[in-house]
Copies of this chain bind each other. A is one copy, B any other.
Amino acid sequence: MPVVAPAMPLQGESARPGVSLHDELLVALRDYIVEGHLADGARVPERQLCERFGISRTPLREALKVLAAEGLIDLLPNRGARIRELGSEELRELFDVMGGLEALAGRLACERISDAEVAEIERVHHDMYRFYLRREMHGYFQCNQAIHRMIVEAAANAALSATYASFAGRIRRVRYSANLAKERDRWGEAMREHEMILDALRRRAGNELSDILFLHLRNKRKAAQAEASA
């Protein structure tokens, strides 16, 4: 039996303007799934979630349709929703798309990023390097994430950001489990790649940065999958 938290009535506080209940529910439910409260392949318990969020089935089902369209769950006719299982093949596909999106972000970023923004990324990069030298995995990881996020934001493309966020969500569930351990072996290599990323960004070398970012994600995925199958 899946553990369902006692009840979390979707804090129906002062209805913020422009934010419908449906949106809140969608976000809450997505988080609930991404954070791994439901096991892979598990049935999504409609009724229990209704109680959990204090709503009726109609809005919940609307949210489920959206999450299914996003690829987070599968919707089997007459058989309800299930948490989508990610085989290694699908995970490979998702990582490649993430790589493509980051490659695009890098390319676009080079076209419009300001010196100040580059300097900001440089700062985080150096923080990251210090964490690397001290072998502080967690801090390193935070900086790493921040740099990738900053590059996507520097691209200044809302459609790209939204798509990127969607894929990041789909992968996150897996990333948590697989990433940390074996990444260690690749640490030096990843650090070198990040040096190249920063260098290309400084020179506004879009094509180059694009290639590096794609391969960077490729390598990250390979490391994660080697870990997963080990």
Contact = CB atoms under 8 A, between A and B. Distances in A.
A157 B65 CA distance: 23
A111 B65 CA distance: 35
B214 A94 contact: no
Given A66-B69, A69-B70, A210-B210, A159 B107 contact: no
Interface string A93-132: 1101101110110011000000000000000000000000
Interface string A26-68: 0000000000000000000000000000000010011101100
Interface residues of A, number: 39
A22 interface: yes
A144 to B, nearest CB: 22
A88 to B, nearest CB: 14
A58 to B, nearest CB: 7
Interface of A: 18-20, 22, 58, 61-63, 65-66, 69-71, 75, 77-78, 90, 93-94, 96-97, 99-101, 103-104, 107-108, 157-160, 162-163, 167, 207, 210-211, 214
